[in-house]
Structure 1
Amino acid sequence: MTTRYNPPNISDFVKRQHLFMVLDKNFHKQNFLITGQAAQGKTTFVASYLQRSQDPVLWYHLSEDDCDHTKLFDRLVRGINEQSGIEGEEREMTIPGSILGTEEGLLRHIEGLSAILKTLSSPLTIVLDDLETVHEISSGFRLIKGLLNDRFENLRFFLLSRNIPPFNIPRLKTGHTFFTLNNEDLAFTLDETRSFFAGKAIGNTVDVERIHKITDGWAGGLTLVSESLRQFKKLQPLPERLSSEVFNFFSREIYRILPDQIREFLIKTSVLHTIDLEIVNHLFEPVSALEILTELEKRNLFIQRIDSDTKWPKFKYHNLFRNFLLQDLLKTKGSRAQKKLNQKVGQLFWERKDHEQAMNYFVEADAYSDIVHIIKIKGTDYIINNKMSWLKKWISHLPDETIDNDPWLIFFRTMTRRIRGGKKNIKAFRKAFFLFDQVSDIRGMLLSIGYLIEASVFIRQPSGLILEWIKKGEKLLQNIRGKNRYPWARTLLWQQIGLGYIAGDGNIPKGVSACQNAILLGRQINNADLMFNASITMTFGYVQAGDFVNARQMLSKIKGITREGQNPEYRALKSIVDIDFALKNGRFNTVKELLTRSEADIEKFGLIFLYPGFVEAEALHLVYIRKFDEARQMADHLNDFSILEGNDFYKGISHR
């Protein structure tokens, strides 16, 4: 089993028995929030507490990367599966990369992860360390909040943060599922301070009491004093108050007497978010990196071993210490050298085929040409896997003039706002398409026109405009017919043409035909997402045509390529189809439940293309229960909707 999710390796720690007892009394609760200033001992305390338990622990060191909910979702699922010993196809838990709604996909990921956690058959503890690195407005943070609002029988969450996150803590505590320890709770008591210095060369009891008073029980301050004693053999003059705010001043006194080689090693490795010895060995002349890091670890000098059982163990500097080292790097080497070092690290990760890590360092280095190079190679993969937050992060670092005349960069930037870009997306996709056309970039043309059709449907453009782009797409596909090139882009375009015909133009037969082409191509390239979306669109076409027999058959086929209940499109459409069957059998209470369920999914996940079908189903229900005036109002509403859309097909539905 891999060790990347193991708790950090800790040694020579003070057992904090009174805090252990507090947690023991509250261990029936699900969520534990531990907050405290930098170097307050949060990680060591929780790791030492969980050592006492036989239950498995997954420990995640969060970073800014986890602001992207898709990245955090993948990490959490991977760890859970590895812990459970799940392998092969069973391990795959993916959310469709290309979705048919206007919601960004976050709610789907929350639902999917909650479903996994509710199936846990034995106790599991998940620790999310460094929570403060996940921005409060990010989708990753909202994923965490969504999980905390749910209940899981065999799960405990520990969240460790410097800051108090904006959770509704009083409400969570009311539910008796939430417990918190804060900075004051974590402060070392006088007895614990005595235990910390037991066996160390300290003068007398008065000195320990003075240290405790000056540090106010701050674990980082105790470590600094301990290191000072080790180096200077006696207690040095101390400031009136030793806290994280004066960390730089006090640690510099210790840092400045280290050998030059070690100082050089420390400041250069500070650019690494995680100290990877394989990378370190390429950054320096022959040096015993493992020996240096192990010695620092033994001295508790603000470093943790976070992956201990591999050939190349990984370490992590404490954020406070790393920031201190980065400041010294900038001061002694200058910003140019710092950027050059980041670029070199990025190139090493790129050579190791770790493009995500490489990009992080290229961004730090403002290495625009390297950023563009990776975006153009990997951008389409991120679209396929719906990892738009990464594209958005990368492209946001590029100057506008770099983007504005490059069709691929225009296309990728527009895709990052695909859900919320509105009419601005129409303009951008058109510009990208015409620029691709000028250089005969067929793949770019296929993709830009496909998403142009989708954007036109989602923002309710007139049928004539949607049809114009459909015709261009069909002509493009005809021109490359018989050529086995760009299979994913061709499949995507056929699926979007189907969506355009069915939800935008009302030509059901042509829409069904386009979807059939997409399903056939999707099967050839083994892309379940595109097969699913084309099947859903095709089923919707049958529903719009009132052909519930074929719609029900399609839903049976869809069930084979998706987990029951996982996809809101499937759930909403199945409810609409089941409504027809229930109406014909007079089960009107069932119809009401199905309408409520379908409406909830349509609203929650932005499935606006299903809205007309839902309105028609609701109107039919009102007819069946003889509420004719209300049914007429629903028909008028759909008629008004069709006029607003410029869609004669919906107008026809409102009159049938």
Structure 2
Amino acid sequence: MLLTKLHIPQPKEHVVHRSALFEKLNEGLNRRLILVSATAGYGKTTLVSDWIIQNKIPTAWYSVDSRDNDPFEFLSLMINSIQTVNENIGGKSLNLLKSPGTAEIKYIIELLINDILSVEKEFLLVIDDLHLINRSEIFKTLSFIIEYKPQNFKIALLTRSDPPISLARLRSQNELMEIRSADLSFNEHDITDFFNRKLKLGLTRNDISLVELKTEGWIAGLQLTAITLQNKDNISEYLKSIAGDSRYIMDYLIEEVLNTLDNETRDFLLKTSVLDQFSGSLCDAILDKNNSQQLLESLEKCNMFIVPLDDERKWFRYHHLFGDLLKQRLQIKHKEQIPELHKKAGLWYEAKGFSLFAIEHTLKAGSSEKALQLIDNEVDSLWETSQYTIILKFTQHLNENEIISSGKFGIAYAWVLIIMGKLDVAEVFLDKLQTSIKTDKSNGARNKLLGRLYETYNLLKVFSGDVEAAFRYSKLAIENIETNDVLWNSWAHISYGESNLLRFELNKSISSFKIAREKAQKVDNLYLNLIATSKTAYVLKVKGEYTKSLELCNNLLETFNADSKIEEYRIGLLSSILYSIIGYIQAEQGKTEEGIKNARKGYNLSRGVLSLSFQAYNALLLAETYYKSGEFNKALSLIEELEKIVNQDIAQWLYVLANSLKCNLLILLGEDEKALTILNRRKETTKNHNFENYFYNVAIARYSISQKNYSESILLLTDLKKGLKSHDAFELLAEVKLLMAKSLLLANKREEAIISVLNCLKCTQSDHFNRIYINEGAEIESLLREIGQRKKVSSTEKLDAVSSSYLNVLIEAFENEKKTSKAATENVLSARELDTLKLLAKEYSNQQIADDLFISLNTVKSHLKNINLKLEVDSRTKAVEKAKELGIV
């Protein structure tokens, strides 16, 4: 990063102080936003920088350039600029931005806003040249900051075009101070001040009027006019010769300016226009000179549209419009020299350690081979930190064969295509890349890249939902990625573990996650350690080994808390999935209140994570926790919200779990037809696998029971039981055994049903399964009670294998469930109160509710009073919030 982007540009010596506009800007400090929006050359930057300096306003300045269209880069630079005012602001946010993908932008902004809130001192943030930004995500970030910024934080945006943020709303609320081209235009008084008092040119009143007429107060035109007037014998006649609209005036004037310069200076201006920012040393390097610094200082003194970027006057840039016009003329006059200029700039940046700038200029020089060598050194870092925008930017200057020739860069490019959802393009490209790598005669490079290639294929197949292909490629990645390629190697083992999970090879899955975890710990990679550990804990849950799963989660949480190097906010983000798993298991073990609390904590923490699959994972676990706790409507509501995130193509196993859970919930809530629609849709899928088959078939068995097709459900459950037992999947096996018991009991096969429950109890008692019995209802309760009675009067191997205390806990849980349900029923809202609450949620007034329900205002007030009483709240707003939390509306 060039820190020159964060310096306030210093106004020129002959600047005209705009007191009237200063007053408007001062007033703007009391508004939510200052917007200075005008076309090029109207002095936006000069006005604001002069106002800041004259009024000694503490200011963070950020000059945008076209490279800043990456949301993470934009926010990083913005925070860096704020730290020039107060170094204590934004530290946590910057650390998160160094690892893109760790946290959602919104969460990072919230951390930043909280930091600003803790500082009492007022300060201003100026973002200059905002028109160079075109990413909607960045404007969403700005909108969020403007909406929620503290009072002590002032914002000014300088741009050539209005940004896509809610200006109309800010304007209607009198929270916007706008300065436009008409405000910035010099009037006759300003022009007189500039030409006569500042520059001592002695223009007549008629001359001033003519200048105003010709330029319409356009400051860039006035400045260029002033330069061309130097040494003119007949100023009035010269001014009459200037004609045309503003753009033609600019073309004409700059041509006039260039013609007044000596050859050395003219050559310097044209050839340095290839640089977005420049220093004396850099200009010397591309022009083979040794006096560039003196030339730069001279140009600045002559008001030659050169903007200093630091207080030491070491780095500069051209006024954007002036720079663009110089580039046009360079293309006309010295087109053949442009590649060589870029080549020299690239070499200078490379020597100074500015690798990304070096790559950019080398690419523009057309030196693809050299650029690819530089890219090869940087691509791992770009990939690891998810700087996908930069990777794509480099590809714009290369053809497909050139990208393929650099296997490492080609793999990173393919990865980005997949992340962007361009699966077809990625697959064609990967096939070509594979051919190139396999035919590479350099065995060392070939072997290193093949493993990465297979891991990228794995990502493609996971996104497209082809599980068997994903498994095959994850295995190939394991076999081919070198041991010392730790990051890729760890991901390969995670992928292999996930592929085995989808095949329901649970023990193989755990073994692979364990290897990934050990590798992550070896290189102290917290994120990979968390991913591998949480996935291991999840598989242990599926195996029904709750004690081991809880131990793994709690141990890692303790590690987080004990490690002073891990900052508190990162602990929160990374531990979200651990809390979610812990909450789910606690709920299953009967600690529903504690379980929901932890699962909700995990869910809320995950909202700050960028990865949608990570968010969906936590949302699903919270829905399952609600399901285990008997809060079926809440679980269903969350699943329906989850459907907006989860996509079958990019989160196959989450999609399966969400749909199977939804089917179970719909059946338990008596909405069998809706469940059948989902199950029928499942039959149309072409890429079914063990994971999908087991979970969907359990849902099908539950549907069969609801339709009283007991022989069908018994047959299906028998097959499921054999398969799940062979995979050690005891959590799902326990559910199958209880569904088998229900089927047998309802089919009048009571003894077989009792045996099925006994077999289930034997498997679940050591890990304290609880809610799995409660949610299956009265049939299971009756069987448990009968088993309890039999234990009192007889002794068999199966009966003795079941703990009496465990059995009593389950029977007591059924009693407590009935008491809770009765209390909830007594406290439930009436139909009319529910209607009122729904309208309340739509923000209807009391009169609107009365009109809509054809009741009196007094009746509405009575309903509202009862609603508040039953929901234990004291306002209509809180009533709606509580109702949403409870899943009532």
Q: TM-score, normalised by structure 1?
A: 0.86
CA deviation digits over 1:495-519, x for unaligned, max 9?
A: 22223233x4333332232222212
Q: Which has the higher mean CA deviation after the structures are superposed, 387-396 or 602-611?
A: 602-611
Note the C-alpha offset of 1:292.
2.5
Contact 1:638/1:651, CA 8 A, preserved across alignment = no
For the Cα contact (< 8 Å) 2:280–2:292, is it kept in 1? yes
SS for the counterpart of 1:256 is helix
Match of 2:276 among 273, 280, 291: 273
The structure-2 alpha-carbon separation of the partners of 1:541 and 1:33, relative to structure 1 and needing over 3 Å to count, comes to farther
Deviation at 1:141, TM superposition (A): 4.8
How many Å apart are 1:628 and its aligned residue? Answer: 5.2
* Equivalent position of 1:48 in the other structure: 50
How many residues in Structure 1 have an aligned counterpart in Structure 2? 636
CA distance in 1, matches of 2:407, 2:623: 46
Partners of 1:32 and 1:158 within 8 A in 2:
yes
Q: Which digits, 9 at most, give the CA deviation of each residue in 1:332-352, with x for residues without a partner?
A: 3x2221111111111111121
Equivalent-residue separation in structure 2 for 1:91 and 1:145 (angstroms): 15
State the AA in 1 paired with 2:157.
Answer: L
> How far, CA to CA, are the matches of 2:640 and 2:175 in structure 1?
29
Alpha-carbon deviation of 1:426?
3.6
**Aligned-partner residue type, residue 488 of structure 1:** L
Is 2:279–2:293's contact at 8 Å kept on the other side of the alignment? no
Please list the CA deviations of residues 134-160 of structure 1 after superposition, one character each: whole Å capped at 9, or x if unmatched: 3x3x46655556546742224433222
Aligned residue identity for 1:399: N
Residues 54 and 575 from structure 1, CA distance in 2 versus in 1: closer, same or farther, beyond 3 angstroms? farther
| Cα distance, 1:572–1:399 mapped onto 2, change above 3 Å | closer
Q: Does 1:185 align with 2:206?
A: no
Are the counterparts in 2 of residues 582 and 591 from structure 1 also a CA contact under 8 Å? yes
Instruction: Note if contact 2:434-2:453 (Cα within 8 Å) is conserved in structure 1.
Output: yes
Q: Partner amino acid for 1:320? A: L
Alignment check: 8 A CA contact 1:639 1:650 kept: no
Letter in 1 for 2:17: K
Find the counterpart in structure 2 of residue 464 from structure 1. Answer: 468
Decide whether the 8 Å contact of 2:31 with 2:175 is kept in 1.
yes
Per-residue displacement from partner, 1:371-403 (whole Å, max 9, x unpaired)?
Answer: 221222222221111111211111221123334
Structure 2, unmatched stretches of 5+, are: 561-569, 574-604, 699-889
Q: What amino acid is aligned across from residue 471 of structure 1 in structure 2?
A: K
Residue equivalent to 1:530: 528
Q: 2-side partners of 1:604 and 1:294: how far apart?
A: 61
Amino acid at match of 1:648: N
Q: Residue in 1 aligned with 2:423?
A: 422
- In the alignment, is the contact (CA less than 8 A) between 2:93 and 2:108 conserved in 1? no
Shift of 1:418: 1.9
CA distance, structure 1, for counterparts of residue 28 and residue 688 of structure 2: 60
Contact 1:345–1:361 under 8 Å retained in 2: yes
Corresponding residue for 2:498? Answer: 499
| Aligned counterparts, 1:118-133, within 5 A | 118-121=114-117, 122=119, 123-133=122-132
CA contact (8 A) 2:113 2:149 kept: yes
Correspondent of 2:298 among 276, 283, 295: 295
Match of residue 654 from structure 2: 610
Q: CA deviation at 1:473?
A: 2.8
Compared CA separation, residues 430 and 87, structure 1 to 2 (3 A): farther
Q: Residue 59 of structure 1 aligns to a residue in which SS?
A: strand
Is 1:308 matched with 2:304?
Answer: no
Superposed CA offset, 1:49-100 (max 9, x none):
333555532222222211233332332233344543249985743358685x
Question: Which residue does 1:251 correspond to in 2?
Answer: 254
Q: In structure 2, what is the equivalent of residue 77 of structure 1? A: 79
**What amino acid sits opposite 1:655 in the alignment?**
N
Deviation at 1:185, TM superposition (A): 2.6
After superposition, the C-alpha distances for 1:4-53 in whole angstroms (9 at most, x for unaligned) are 51211114322222223333334333333322221110111122233355
Question: Is 2:439 the counterpart of 1:453?
Answer: no
Q: Give the CA deviation at 1:597.
A: 6.5
Kindly provide the amino acid, as one letter, of the partner of residue 19 in structure 1. Answer: L
Answer whether contact 1:411 1:428 (CA < 8 A) is retained. no
Find the aligned partners of 1:630 and 1:78 in 2 and give their Cα distance. Answer: 56
Please give the secondary structure, in 2, of the residue aligned with 1:232: coil
* C-alpha separation in 2, matches of 1:275 and 1:77: 24
Paired position in structure 1 for 2:588: none
Quote how far apart the aligned CAs of 1:245 are: 3.2
Q: Which residue identity is paired with 1:253?
A: E
Aligned CA distance change for structure 1 residues 634 and 29 (closer, same or farther; 3 Å): farther
For residue 309 of structure 2, give the secondary structure of its aligned residue in structure 1: strand
Q: Is 2:372–2:406's contact at 8 Å kept on the other side of the alignment? A: no
Residues 513 and 536 in structure 2, CA contact (< 8 A), matched pair in contact too: yes
Residue 611 of structure 1 aligns to which amino acid in structure 2? Y
How far apart, CA to CA, are the structure 2 residues paired with 1:319 and 1:224? Answer: 14
- Find the aligned partners of 1:577 and 1:436 in 2 and give their Cα distance: 41
Q: Which of the numbers 503, 506, 509 marks the counterpart of 1:508?
A: 506
Amino acid corresponding to residue 373 of structure 1 in structure 2: Q
Percent of matched pairs sharing the same residue: 18
Change in 2 beyond 3 A, CA 1:363/1:233: farther
1:112 counterpart residue number = 108
Instruction: Kindly indicate whether the alpha-carbon contact (under 8 Å) linking 1:620 and 1:631 is maintained by their aligned counterparts in 2.
Output: no
Provide the TM-score with structure 2 as the length reference: 0.65
1:220 corresponding residue in structure 2: 220
TM superposition shift of 1:585: 4.1
Deviations along 1:290-340, one digit per CA (max 9) or x if unpaired, are 33222322333211111114xx621111112212322333333x2221111
Q: How far apart in 2 are the matches of 1:610 and 1:96?
A: 28
**What does residue range 406-421 of structure 1 map to in structure 2 within 5 Å?**
407-419=407-419, 420-421=421-422
SS of 1:34's partner is strand
Which one has more relative contact order, counting CA pairs under 8 Å at least 6 apart? 1
Q: CA deviation at 1:531?
A: 3.0
Q: Aligned pair 1:67/2:69, yes or no?
A: yes
Partner letter of residue 366 of structure 1?
G
Secondary structure in 2 matching 1:526:
coil
Greater Cα shift, 408-417 or 213-222 = 408-417
1:114-133 alpha-carbon deviations (Å, 9 max, x no partner): 54234312444332222232
CA shift in 2, pair 1:529/1:585, >3 Å: closer
How far is 1:472 from its partner?
2.2
Q: Tell me the equivalent position of 1:32.
A: 34
Report which of the two has the higher share of helix: 2
**Partner Cα separation in structure 1 for residue 625 and residue 680 of structure 2:** 24
Match of 2:148 in 1: 151
1:212-611 equivalence runs, <5 A: 212-232=212-232, 235=235, 237-238=238-239, 239-240=242-243, 243-285=246-288, 287-309=290-312, 313-332=314-333, 334-404=334-404, 407-419=407-419, 420-433=421-434, 435-439=436-440, 440=443, 441-461=446-466, 463-476=467-480, 484-502=483-501, 504-541=502-539, 557=556, 560=560, 562-564=571-573, 565=605, 566-567=608-609, 568=611, 569-586=613-630, 591=635, 595=639, 598=642, 602=646, 609-611=653-655
Q: 1:306 and 1:377 mapped to 2: Cα distance? A: 29
8 Å CA contact 1:430–1:448 kept in 2: the answer is no
Pair 1:591–1:547, CA change in 2 (3 A): farther
673, 693, 696: which is aligned to 1:654? Answer: 696
Q: How far 1:571 moved relative to its partner?
A: 4.4
Q: What is the rounded CA distance, in whole Å, between the counterparts of 1:411 and 1:297 in structure 2? A: 46
C-alpha distance in 2 between matches for 1:577 and 1:422: 29
| 1:286 CA displacement | 5.0
d(CA) in 2 for partners of 1:164 and 1:577?
Answer: 43
Between stretches 523-532 and 1-10, larger displacement belongs to 1-10
Q: Is the 8 A contact 1:371 1:394 kept in 2?
A: no
In structure 2, what is the Cα distance between the partners aligned to 1:548 and 1:142? 45
Q: Distance in 2 between matches of 1:32 and 1:637?
A: 57
1: CA distance between counterparts of 2:368 and 2:249? 37
CA distance in 1, matches of 2:547, 2:97: 28
Q: Which amino acid aligns with 2:78?
A: L
Q: Aligned partners of 1:222, 1:14: CA distance in 2, in Å?
A: 12
